[in-house]
Structure 1
Amino acid sequence: MASTAGSIAVIDYGMGNLRSVWQALVHVADGRDVVVTADPAVVAAAERVVFPGQGAMPDCMRELDARGLRQVVLETARTKPFLGICIGLQMLFEHSDEGDVSGLGVFAGNVRRFAAERMVNASGEKLKVPHMGWNEVRQIRQHPLWSGIPDGARFYFVHSYCVTPGDADCIAGMTDYGTPFTSVVARDNIFAIQCHPEKSAKAGLALLSNFLQWKP
Structure 2
Amino acid sequence: MSNPSYAELSINGLWKNNPALVQLLGLCPLLGVSNSAVNALGLGIATIMVLVCSNLAVSLVRGVVNTAVRLPAFVMIIAALTTCIELLMQAYTYELFQILGIFIPLITTNCVILGRADGFAAKHNPVIATYDGLVMGVGFAFVLVLLGGAREVLGTGALFANMHLLFGEIARDWQITFVQDYKGFLLAILPPGAFIVLGLIIALKNRIDQQLAARKVHAQPAAPVTSRRVRTTGAVD
Which TM-score bucket, shorter chain as reference?
A: under 0.3
TM-score normalised by length of structure 1: 0.24
Bigger fraction of residues in helix = 2
Q: Which has the higher contact order (CA 8 A, sep 6+)?
A: 2
TM-score normalised by length of structure 2: 0.22
Bigger fraction of residues in strand = 1
Looking at CA atoms only, which structure, 1 or 2, has the larger radius of gyration? 2
